[in-house]
Every structure is written in structure tokens, then in C-alpha cells.
Structure 1
Amino acid sequence: MRKVVIVGRPNVGKSSLYNRLLGRRDAVVADEAGVTRDLKEAVVEGERGRFKLVDTGGLWSGDAWEPKIKEKVDRALAEADLILFLVDGRSELARADYEVADYLRKQGKPVLLVATKVDHPNHEAYLGELYGLGFGAPLATSVEHKRGLEELEEAIWERLPATDEETEVEVPPIRIAIIGRPNAGKSSLLNAILGEERVIVSEQPGTTRDSIDVELDYGGTRFVLVDTAGIRKRPETAVEHFAIQRAHRVIKEADVVVLAVDPFELGDRELKMAGEALEAGKPVILAVTKWDAVPKEEQREVRRRIREKLAHLENLPIIYTSAVSGRNIHKIFQEATRLYHKARIRFDTGDLNRWVQLWLTRTRVPNFRGKPLKIFYVTQPEVAPPLFVFFVNQPDFVTRAFENYIKNRIREDLDLRDVPFRLAWRGRRQRG
């Protein structure tokens, strides 16, 4: 797929433009420099086709992360078909802008110079300095005031190479969200899966400051892995607050959620994060990280302690992983694929009703003042998560104990122990 990469020094509006071209707020945006550290990718689709858009970290920032940021930008540019070089159109060119310009000239790739934050036509009179960068006339844009964006999109399509991509509808990839508390090993797990340091890893909590999407093919199945910022109880900065809010949204958009569990630090927070995913109807995999750091003679006891602390999640699959050795990394894909398809099973209405008749013979049906609850039939109108709708004579007759009994029977007899599902009780429609 054709690739367009956004490049520039920090705080010139790269993530704002990325969001605008996508048509959604996908990257965290703040006035603070250095918010984006890793590569963010997403597909832009239009009448002329599609391309992959890549947001990158700020170059020549002078901070501690710059070497790693530049490594990732190097990798992105090696595959780029077009580079969007962003500069702040409201300020004088900085030394970093010239450094980035020299760097891009050495890439030998097409470059489109984009002046950002040009909120008014009068401001365009100050863009003459930008010609000195050597990339021709700059395109004046303003995300905030929606200026020049249509012209920019037109210029992008004109400069992209022709493609012979097939137009047939593709099977959507399985979206896996990797969540967990800060420093639980989420980014290390993602890097181990990819076999490269795609996401910056540090012992310092909070290194990942936004959700990072990575698409890959595993065993003939397409996946999108989403690494998220660590979810802590109280965000310490505005950037962290927005990143955590984005992580919550990623959970809702995922097909399967992988909860990274640090074997040395776990408790109520893991229960809360798993509960959020399950409440959203997402299957959850518990991936215990850093297993290589657990001495062999202690592993049995650590396993027991983990299962004890996560007893409320006993039905969820647990995988013991190591980013260092690659232990059980492949099992994450196997389990994710299995849960993805299981959450999309649609049961035949006739089979469901036969099961219900059997279940009713094995329990006492709620009875109010001599009037018993009657189940006329059950159907499954939705999947992912499965929704079972029971049509009854009186929905308010359904007790919590009876509903829990039905849930347990569905888990056991329909083999839905490890995927969330929902029940609904509806009264029979009155005639006339």
C-alpha cells in the first residue's frame, strides 16, 4: 500500500494534520512538544483509492528520546512514497527546520512542503522564507480554521504513484488492544511480536504517550495491534490524561483485548481494566509478562498467587509470556483468533429453544403469587458480543438468581465461558 509520512520538528502540528486527514481524532494533540514519540499509522480511503498515513515524532528536538525517534522515522521514510514536510507558517524558520530539510533531501523521496497554522490569508505574505528550504512553494494550511486542506489532499493524490491494487473488499483485520498499567510490559510485548523495537521501551513508566496501531499478517490472518498508554488511577499530566482517554476508546474499538499483567505487581487495577473490557463486550486474554524474570523454582507459587488475585477472571485464558525469549508469543494470536470467531458464533433459534426447555426442567422457575414466569422463546439477534433475547410473560418476574442460572448454563452448554455475552428479557407484545 502507498505510504505518506508526516515529518517535521516538534510542535509544528503534525498530529493535528494527521487527525484531520483521517477525519477523526486518532493521535493525542497538545501544546507540549514531544507528545508523539512512536509511529502512528492509519489508512486514508477516498474515491481515488487509499494510502497509509504515518505520523512521526518531532525531529531535532534535543531531548533524550531523539535517537530512538529518528530510528523510527528512518524506517518510515525508507518505505515512503511521499513525505509531508511540515513547518510552522506563523514563526520564523528554526535551525531544526533547516536540519530536517537537509535530512529529507538525502532521502531521495518526493517532498511536499506544508506550512501549518496559517489561519488567515494575510499570513501567507510571510511564507517567502520557506522557499529557502529548497522544496518549492509551500502549501498554506490551517487545521483549526480548515484552510488549504482540500488543496493539500489534492496535491497528495497527484503526487502519489499509480497503483494496481485490487478493488475487491478485503476481510477486515482482527483488532487487538494491548492494555495494562504503566510499565507492565505492553510495549516490550508488542516489539517481541514484531521482532523489532517499533515502540520505544524504557524502565520509566509512561514512555508510551499515545496508542500505537501496527498492522501485520500472522499465519495468513491480518491483525492490527494497538499498544496503549499505561492506565493509571490518577493521570499526572494533561497529555497523560488524553492518552488514557484514548486507551479507553481503543478498548471499545477492539475485537479482542490483551491485558498485560506484571507478575510482580497486580491487583484491583487489573480486575478493573478487565471488567471495563468485558463490560464493553470484548473477549479478554490475560498475558502475564516478564515470565523470564521469575525464577523457575518460584513459578508454581507465582502462578498460584496470580490466579488467586485474579480469581474473578478465572474463565479467561492466561498466557505466560516473555518478550526477552519470545515465550508463548504465538499463543496470543491463536487465542485472539479463537475468541474473535467464538464471539461471532450465531446459534440457531431452534437449538436455543431446545436448550431452554432442557434448562427449565433442571431448576425452579420464579413464581409470583401463583403466577409462574413463562419463557415463550429465545433468539440471538446480535454477535460480538452475542445477545440472547428471551421473550417472556412478565420480565419483572426474572430474579437475579434465575438470570445467573441461565448465564451459567449458556457458559457451560453453549461453550461461552471465555467470551462475554448479554441477556435481554422482553415481554410479549400485546395485540390490538
Structure 2
Amino acid sequence: MNNPGLIAIVGRPNVGKSALFNRIARRRIAIVHDMPGVTRDRVSAEVEWQGRPFTLVDTGGIGLVPGEKSDDVIATSTVDQVNIAIDAADVILLVVDVHEGIVPLDQEVAQHLHRSGKPVQLIANKADNAPDAESVTDFASLGFEEMFPVSALHDRGIIPVMEAALKHLPKTTNRDLRTENPLKLAIVGRPNVGKSSLINALTQSDRVIVSDIPGTTRDAVDVPFTIETDGRQQPGLLIDTAGLRKKRRVKDSLEYFSVTRTRDAIDRCDIAVLVLDATTGILEQDKKIADLITRRNRACILVVNKWDLAEPKVKQTRREHRANTRKGKKGNRPLLTLAEFGQWVQGELFFLDYAPAIFTSATEGFHLDRFLEAIRYVDDQLQQRIPTPLLNRTLADAIDHRQPPSKSGKRLKFYYATQVAQSPPTILLFVNTPELFSAQYQKYLGDQLRKAFGYEGCPLVLKARPRRRENE
């Protein structure tokens, strides 16, 4: 997939950069997160606007690297963020505060941006009413032709900004939309969780046998499909697989062959869709399949099917809890919301905690649209490529907050990092002693990268390599 384009948000502190980032990005990120505030710590996000994918970067999430000193730390940090944006962006959104007017730091940032030659749109934020909007002309002296009054807080003026910004992004082609290489999804899970029913609901066809008898789908069946929303089409291939059984239940060679085909399907897929049964909860075999997905470094979406059968019991539990609360009875609080159930599922499958959990009912059609959006969202995360300066600055911040491990008086030292692959995202880190890169510190850096760049649904591979000496 070609570069979809990058939009960078820059500006001095407290002008509303994060609010603008959230306003644009949250609409997409909310697909896979039910909890508020998920964009708070994000540095970048894969976003879609009117069917057009791109990367959105909030440079305000980037701090000074260790060792940098300045009499005016804010000014130094702001200019440093601008330099990163200039290096990576196709178009830059310069955010200013319409109430405060032009301040010296705005002028300094504007001069840097003019010298870059990159397209710049001036965003006069906090224009919450008509008089505020008219004040955008006060910023004409900064020398930018495209100026927009915006209220990120109240969602005003965002559409004209985005329509103008999209014109500066690289042109997309059919090749970008995977017309030659469809997105491959392996639908996996133990028998009778509703894998085939899920495919039938999505494709609105009877291409796959559906039965209540476990194991009726003996072979892996590939079903073509197309996701179409907001004018964007994405061809894909749904791989329905025979339900994975415990080894002791594999009774004959045909059943063994089906299990082997399931593993092969995981190997050749882009995203593994692990289907779970809401009526039975997480069983040992579910965890075995999840472990197989993680060991293959495959992206994953958790689909908790048959929610229509579990929901009546949940509603009854909710009513009983409310009644007990009114009576003053105390006890452990049960799971009452989809968000709470989602957190519980991710806790049970803790090694797949990066995978979004979507609650569905294949027979009732509940949340199937959300599932389709999650597929496209995770695929965009897989295609994400982080600019090297942005990646290194984020890692520097993480290392500054928690120093690397040491052994026998020798401390792990990081020199620089670069993303070397997508699907799965793979980061190569050049260090002094790779043996010191412990699993615990890998987990810490991975968590910080996820906090900054998302990577929902994606495994994240970090590889340490010794830096080559100049005389080698």
C-alpha cells in the first residue's frame, strides 16, 4: 500500500492542538474503544475522512529529548516539534488561539514553516461564536493564504479544514485499496461458536454450510467480500475454518486435516478473527487458539458472538444489582456494560490485550457494522508507517521516563530506531548490547509505542541489533 499521506498539527502550548486532534481522530478510534479519553496520549492515529485514509500527527505529544537545554524550554520544544512535522508531513495545520491573537512564538513557528515550503493551513481555534470567527483576519500578517476559524471543542469549522487538507495529500490509486491483494481474514474459533453464521451474515449469502452440529464445516472455505463505507471500497477474503478442537478430540485423519488447515489459514491471513461464545465465556481452548495467533504474530479482532443469548441474563443481573443497591446490600459488583465485558475478555486473553473486542449477534445482525469498521481500522493500523524522527523522539521520551536495565555495571543504551516492516509492524532498535534488552523492557517500550501510535489489533515486534562500528 502506498503512503496514504500525513497531516501534522503544530502550534505553541494551550492553543487546542489536542482538542483538534481528538475531534478529527476520535470518530475513527471510537470504533474499537468504548472508553472515553483514548486519544489523550496519542501522538498519531490512522484516520479516515470521507473514505480517504491518512495519518494524523499531534506534535504536541512530543517533548524534549534528554540532554536538551534551553532558557525557554517551551520555545525550544515547540520549534523542535515543528521540525519533525516539516520532515514528515504532506500538509501542516498551524493552530493559534483566536482570543490571544498573534504572540512572538506564533511568529517564530510561522517563519520556520514558510522556509519549509510545505503547505500550511492556519487554524484559528476557539472561535466559538461569530465575532470570534471574524477575528481570523487578525492572523493574516503571518502570511498564510488558507485560514480557517474553528472551534474544536464545539465541532465547528472542521469540515472546511479537512476538505482543504485532503487536497494536499498524495493521490490514491486502486492499488492502494488492495484490489490486487485482498485483505485476508481467518475466521477461527472452537466448534459451534458461530463462525459460519458470522460469514453468512456479513456476505448475505449461503456460501458456507451453517449447522448447530459442531464441526460441520470440514474444510477451509474462502469467501470474497467487499467493505464499502463513505465511498471507499476494500476487497477482502473471509477464510472460514473448521473449528479447532482439543488434540484428544481429534478422532480421525479428516478431523486432523481440518485442524491443520485452520493453522494454515492463520499463517496466510492478514487479520485473525477469533470468534468467542458469549454464552460459555472464555474456555481453555479459546486461550490455546489465541496463543497460536500471537505466536504467528498475526493481527487480531476478538468477536464475542451470540450476545443476543447472553444479553437477557445480563439485563437481569443489572436489575438485581440496582435492587440490591437500593436496599443497601453490599457485594462484588457484577459486569454490567459492554465496556466492562470487553475489559474482562481482554483480561482473560491478556496476551491479546491489544485486540479490540466486538460484541455481536450473527443471527440478529447486532454490531456487524461495527465489526466491519474494526476490520478496516485494524488493517489501516497494520499499514501504518511511523516517520523515523517521530519514532525516535517518542522512544527517547519513554526511555527518559524509565531508564533501561543494566547488568554487571553495564547499562543498555539505545542509539536510534527505525520501522523496517509492516504487517506486523516491526521496529529495529540499534543498541550497544542486545542481550540487555529484557522482555520486561520490551513490554514497557511496546506499551509506550501503543500509547503514542495506537496499533490496535496489531502485534508489535521490537528487534534489538548492535550498532555497527565505523571501522567495520
Q: TM-score range by the shorter chain?
A: 0.5 to 0.7
1:308 pairs with 344, 351, 354, which one?
344
User: Would the alpha carbon gap of residues 270 and 407 (structure 1) be closer, same or farther in structure 2, given more than 3 Å must change?
Assistant: same
Residue aligning to 1:283: 299
The runs of 4+ residues in structure 1 deviating greater than 4 Å are: 299-307
In the alignment, the residues of structure 1 paired with residue 456 and residue 273 of structure 2 have an alpha-carbon distance, to the nearest angstrom, of: 17
Could you tell me how far 1:401 is from its partner in structure 2? 2.6
- Matched residues, number: 267
Equivalent-residue separation in structure 2 for 1:251 and 1:239 (angstroms): 19
Alignment of 1:94-173 (within 5 A): 170-173=179-182
What is the identity, as a one-letter code, of the residue corresponding to 2:270? D
In the alignment, does 2:284 pair up with 1:272? no
- Who wins on radius of gyration, i.e. which is larger? 1
Q: 1:173-205 deviations in whole A, cap 9, x for unaligned? A: 111111110111111111111223221121111
| Structure 1 residue aligned with 2:380 | 341
Q: For the residues of structure 1 that align with 2:278 and 2:270, how far apart are their CA atoms?
A: 25
Aligned to 1:298: 314
C-alpha distance 293-238 of structure 1, shift in aligned 2 (>3 A): same
Q: Counterparts in 2 of 1:20-419, with a 5 A limit?
A: 170-219=179-228, 220-234=233-247, 235-265=250-280, 266-298=282-314, 301=335, 307-308=343-344, 310-311=346-347, 312=350, 313-419=352-458
Q: Indicate if the aligned counterparts of 2:346 and 2:357 stay in contact, CA closer than 8 A.
A: no
Q: Distance in 1 between matches of 2:243 and 2:392?
A: 44
Aligned to 1:343, the other structure's residue is in SS state helix
| Shift in CA distance, 310/372, structure 1 to aligned 2, threshold 3 Å | closer
Per-residue CA deviation, residues 89-108 of structure 1 (Å, 9 max, x unaligned), is: xxxxxxxxxxxxxxxxxxxx
Distance in 2, matches of 1:306 and 1:367, equals 37
Who is 1:106 aligned against?
Answer: none
1:294/1:232 CA distance change after superposition, 3 Å: same
In structure 1, C-alpha distance between the alignment counterparts of 2:222 and 2:381, rounded to whole Å:
24
TM-fit CA distance, 1:368: 3.1
Partner Cα separation in structure 2 for residue 375 and residue 254 of structure 1? 33
Whole-angstrom CA distance in 2 between matches of 1:369 and 1:295: 56
- Cα 1:211–1:356 shift into 2, 3 Å: same
In 2, Cα distance between equivalents of 1:305 and 1:361: 35
SS at match of 1:214: strand
Report what 1:139 is aligned to: none
Report the CA distance shift for 1:379/1:306 in structure 2 as closer, same or farther (over 3 A): closer
1:330 CA displacement = 1.9
**Offset, 1:306:** 6.9
- Unaligned runs of at least 5 residues, structure 1: 1-165
Higher normalized helix content (fraction of residues): 2
**Letter paired with 1:182:** P
Q: How far has the Cα of 1:392 moved from its partner?
A: 0.7
CA–CA distance in 2 between the matches of 1:389 and 1:182?
A: 39
Query: Unaligned stretches of 5+ in structure 2?
Result: 1-173, 319-334
**Aligned equivalents of 1:295, 1:374: Cα separation in 2:** 52
Is the 8 Å Cα contact of residues 345 and 357 (structure 2) preserved in structure 1? no
Once the two structures are TM-superposed, the CA of residue 314 in structure 1 deviates from its matched residue by 3.8
TM-score (norm 2): 0.53
* 1:211 CA drift (Å): 0.5
Secondary structure of the residue aligned to 1:222 is: strand
Provide the secondary structure at the position in 1 that maps to 2:383: coil
Contact 2:395 2:449 survives alignment (8 Å) = no
* Deviation readout 1:137-183 (Å, 9 max, x if unpaired): xxxxxxxxxxxxxxxxxxxxxxxxxxxxx99x944211111111011
| 8 A Cα contact 1:260 1:287, kept in partner | yes
- What do residues 330-357 of structure 1 show as CA deviations (whole Å, max 9, x unaligned)? 2222111111110111111111111122
Compute the TM-score of the two structures, normalised by the length of structure 1.
Answer: 0.58
Cα 1:364–1:177 shift into 2, 3 Å: same
The alignment-based identity, stated in percent, is 32
Deviations 1:55-95 (A, max 9, x none): xxxxxxxxxxxxxxxxxxxxxxxxxxxxxxxxxxxxxxxxx
Secondary structure at the residue paired with 1:269? helix
CA 1:244–1:297 in structure 2 vs 1: closer, same or farther (change >3 Å)?
closer
Shift of 1:307: 4.6
Shift in alpha-carbon separation, 1:409–1:306, aligned structure 2, 3 A: closer
* 3-state secondary structure, aligned to 1:425: strand
Which deviates more from structure 2 when the two are superposed, residues 344-353 or residues 267-276? 267-276
Structure 1 residues 377 and 273 mapped into 2: Cα distance closer, same or farther (>3 Å)? same
Quote the Cα distance in structure 2 between the aligned partners of 1:343 and 1:237.
Answer: 38
